[in-house]
Amino acid sequence: MVRLLWVKRFGVFRRLKVGEGGLSFFIPVLYRLVLEVLAGSVPLGYDCVAFYVESVMFPSPFVEALEHFPLYNFLLVFMNFVIGDAFLTVKVGSVLVSGFLGYSIYRWLKALGFRSNGLYYALLIFFFLPTLRMSWDLHRNCFGLSLALLSMSYLKEGRGKLACFLAFVAGFSHPFAALSIVAMNFGSIFLRRDKAAFLVVFLSCFGMMLTQLPSMFTYVYSQISSSLSRSFIERVVVAYVLGGWLLLPVVPFIKGVRRNFRRLVDGFGFENFWWVFWFFVVSPFFYFSDRFIYMLGIPLGTIVVCNVMLEGDERKQKALFYVIMVSMAAYTSVGMFNTSIPLRYTSEVMRLFEYCRELLDDDSIVLVHRSLLGFALKVGIDPSKIVVVEPYENFTMKMNFSKGVKEVFAVWWLRGKYWEGGHPLVRVFPFLAGSYGLYDIPEDFKIIREGRGFALYVYKRQN
């Protein structure tokens, strides 16, 4: 078997007596820490700037917050009591959740029996593109899924009480984590009639339902109806095309899975086989989201990695290692190393918001695109003066909020440059910009201060 020689020769870890479990946490932490340091003061990731900064600075009332599966957000709020800076708190959370995900993958593989090369497999799966995409900004997903993997690990090890507790917390953290636990235990419950697995699933679903009280039925109905209202073809295209392209680097290594399928299924157990089945077949019918494909990267990546190792072809093993490392490096520079907007624009956007703050008075408001919200809050703009323009909303319709005010400000993209929007795909495929709510500002808005990619605009209502 191929071993990570560079890990074995990392003398500093031996001197510090850091075991494989510690390495599975420390190496992802180091990876994300380097990126966050290079990014400066701004947290990497769309959701980090667009949502987490807001939740840290202005925590929602408890009942309202429960409806957004907020355990990770709560932890960030508690961290901020010590750190005292929302941007830095979110950056620290990004680093820690990456390490937690790496460790949970390692523990899960170890529980499945991959002990001698568990660290090697865990790191390959962590640096697999779907996993990296999830770790970029889907930190509630990462946190919930990490808890789910640890729950499954303890269940395999016969530590039922701890497995049940973590399953409950995972369900409380994110609905996808609860659904993953359901999928991972599907075979154990219906084919093996495993009572411990049933209890884990029950507690996970119970944790998920608690977060939706008192609007549980409304939430479930809205999720199912919004999913089924779209055509099956549309669901498959969005879920598998937008998410599935991340699987392309390892497609050549899928060859041989059919030959080793029985050994792979026996090694993983029914529960993990059904996890793959759930994501491939069932998910398009229920939750319309390409995020399921990102989460699929962990079980699918594990099957691919273990299949290559079972074949014993060292050339193929080395090729898999190099493909994952090269694709990781390319994706990091192109996709991961971004905030909600390109890094080169973050300082000018904050300067424009600072200037806007000085101009705001009792008779004015500022329209802020969701991807820029964190920057507006960071510079101290009064939240009561902010009207958020969500990606699915029409800018002109938001002007209805401006009735009764004399001036409407907006920090927006320069005309013709909106395609340099928050999502990396928009810069590669500009025609997708409209899907992310990126467009030119109406002509009625006039520039009062201009940068390289953004400008501060104002609309003065006529008396």
**Cα 221 to chain centroid, rounded:** 24
The pair of three-digit structure tokens given for residue 75, joined into one six-digit string: 């932890």
**Cα 166 to chain centroid, rounded:** 20
- Between CA 387 and CA 373 the distance in angstroms is 10
**CB 104: neighbour CB atoms within 10 A?**
27
Residues 6+ apart with CB under 8 A from 85: none
**CB 272: neighbour CB atoms within 10 A?**
24
**CB 154: neighbour CB atoms within 10 A?**
20
Look at residue 5 in the predicted model and tell me its pLDDT: 46
**Cα 236 to chain centroid, rounded:** 20
**For the whole model, what pTM was predicted?**
0.87
* DSSP per residue, 144-201: HHHHHHHHHHHHHTT-HHHHHHHHHHHHHH-HHHHHHHHHHTHHHHHTS--HHHHHHH
Look at residue 214 in the predicted model and tell me its pLDDT: 54
Look at residue 9 in the predicted model and tell me its pLDDT: 46
Per the DSSP assignment, residues forming a β-bridge with 446 are: 458
- Between CA 229 and CA 220 the distance in angstroms is 14
- Between CA 278 and CA 275 the distance in angstroms is 5
Look at residue 218 in the predicted model and tell me its pLDDT: 58
- Between CA 128 and CA 331 the distance in angstroms is 10
The pair of three-digit structure tokens given for residue 109, joined into one six-digit string: 């593989």
Look at residue 215 in the predicted model and tell me its pLDDT: 60
- Between CA 208 and CA 69 the distance in angstroms is 8
Look at residue 7 in the predicted model and tell me its pLDDT: 46
Look at residue 39 in the predicted model and tell me its pLDDT: 92
Residue 117 φ then ψ, to 5°: -125, 25
> What is the DSSP pairing of strand 364-369 with strand 386-389?
parallel
Look at residue 420 in the predicted model and tell me its pLDDT: 82
**CB 340: neighbour CB atoms within 10 A?**
28
Per the DSSP assignment, residues forming a β-bridge with 272 are: none
Domain coordinates of the chain in residue numbers? 5-336, 343-460
Look at residue 99 in the predicted model and tell me its pLDDT: 96
Residues 6+ apart with CB under 8 A from 225: none
H or E, element range at 367:
strand 364-369
- Between CA 233 and CA 417 the distance in angstroms is 32
Q: Which of 455, 421, 453, 424 is nearest to 438 (CA)?
A: 421
**CB 435: neighbour CB atoms within 10 A?**
16
Residue 130 φ then ψ, to 5°: -60, -35
Residue 447 φ then ψ, to 5°: -75, 130
* Residues 90/48, Cβ–Cβ less than 8 Å: yes
User: Which amino acid belongs to residue 129?
Assistant: L
Look at residue 183 in the predicted model and tell me its pLDDT: 79
Using the structure block, give the residue that is written with the tokens 């994300």: 32
Quote the DSSP letter at residue 44: S
> What is the DSSP pairing of strand 454-460 with strand 364-369?
unpaired
Residues of the chain with pLDDT under 70: 1-18, 60-69, 212-244, 267-290, 292-293, 401-403, 463
The three-class DSSP label of residue 458 is strand
